[in-house]
Structures are given as structure tokens and as C-alpha cells.
């Protein structure tokens, strides 16, 4: 799609694809579980919607008020886990860290907020399986993308 586009230094074609055309962005109707990760310092959040069939992830969507790094990572991660099982998805977090390579501290927080929202959705699913009524599960981020010296 962007074959003839000159890439910014350090950006790979897959990242550009997800930046220009994010996948799975928006609300999923009737999800099995919903997780939210919140950076209370900045107000940034990611909502992760997951549709499960047994232990298979049939669909996943995310929404955020975060930066473009958060959107790109949400797009890449959701694409990676759809049509795979929960165990694969949990291992995909490590694979995403490897795929993303060296990131700034701010980019790391952007990745972690996406992954934390997914983990929160899995906690929400566990709670529902235990019979607890919980619309969504919320995790508060320990690190903020507005930490000291983060915008060097």
C-alpha cells in the first residue's frame, strides 16, 4: 500500500501501514470482556474489547484518547492476537516488545497501556466466569507518559 513512500528513519513498512490505516479501532459490539488501562496523571486511556469463543479470540478492538504510538501499537497487537488463543495472546505481549525493538520511555508507556488494557480485559473475563458482575475491569498505570525527563 505504501511501497513508494519514503519511510522516516527507523520506521518499518508495517509500522507505517498501521499508522496510516489503523486496524480494529473502535468499539466492539457485545464483547465477552472489556478492559481499561488509565494513566491518571495525563488522563490517557485505552479500552480493549475482546470477543472470545472458548479460549479463542474471535475479535478484538480498542479505543484510546492517546497518541499515535498508542494507536499503532493497539493496531499491531490486536491484529496479532485475533484468531489465536488466550495463551498465544499473552505471549504476544513479549513478541510485540521484540518486534518494536528499542523504544523511548514514552513509547514504552504507550505500549504498556495497550497491553495493560488487554490484561484488564482478561481479568474481566475471569471475573465474569467466577460469576461476578463487572462491566469492565480497570487497571491504573504505574508509569505515566508524562514522567520526568520523558520528553527529552
Task: Give the SS3 label for residue 51.
Answer: strand
For residue 90, the SS3 value is helix
Supply the mean pLDDT for the chain. Answer: 86
CA distance 95 to 129: 28
In whole angstroms, give the CA distance from residue 83 to residue 58.
5
What percentage of the chain exceeds 90 in pLDDT?
63
Residue 29: how many CB atoms within 10 A of its CB? 9
At 42-93, the pLDDT tens digits run: 999 999 999 999 999 999 999 999 988 899 999 999 999 999 999 999 899 8
Q: Specify the pTM.
A: 0.85
Report the candidate in 101, 103, 96 with the shortest Cα–Cα distance to residue 75: 96
Give which of 72, 68, 65 is closest to 47, Cα–Cα.
65
Q: Mind listing the pLDDT tens digit for each residue in 93-124?
A: 888 878 777 777 888 888 899 999 999 999 99
Domains annotated on the chain, with CATH:
13-140 (3.90.1010.10)
Tell me 34's DSSP state: E
Amino acid at each position: 500500500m505504501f511501497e513508494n513512500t519514503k519511510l522516516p528513519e527507523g520506521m518499518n513498512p508495517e509500522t507505517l501501514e498501521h499508522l496510516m490505516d489503523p486496524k480494529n479501532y473502535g468499539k466492539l459490539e457485545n464483547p465477552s470482556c472489556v478492559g481499561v488501562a488509565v494513566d491518571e496523571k495525563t488522563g490517557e486511556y485505552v479500552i480493549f474489547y475482546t470477543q472470545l469463543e472458548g479460549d479463542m479470540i474471535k475479535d478484538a478492538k480498542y479505543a484510546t484518547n492517546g497518541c499515535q504510538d498508542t494507536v499503532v501499537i493497539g493496531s499491531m497487537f490486536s491484529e496479532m492476537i485475533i484468531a489465536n488463543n488466550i495463551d498465544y495472546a499473552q505471549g504476544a505481549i513479549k513478541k510485540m516488545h521484540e518486534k518494536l525493538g528499542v523504544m523511548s520511555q514514552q513509547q514504552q508507556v504507550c505500549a504498556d497501556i495497550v497491553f495493560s488494557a488487554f490484561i484488564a480485559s482478561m481479568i474481566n473475563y475471569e471475573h465474569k466466569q467466577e460469576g461476578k458482575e463487572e462491566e469492565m475491569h480497570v487497571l491504573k498505570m504505574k508509569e505515566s507518559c508524562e514522567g520526568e525527563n520523558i520528553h527529552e
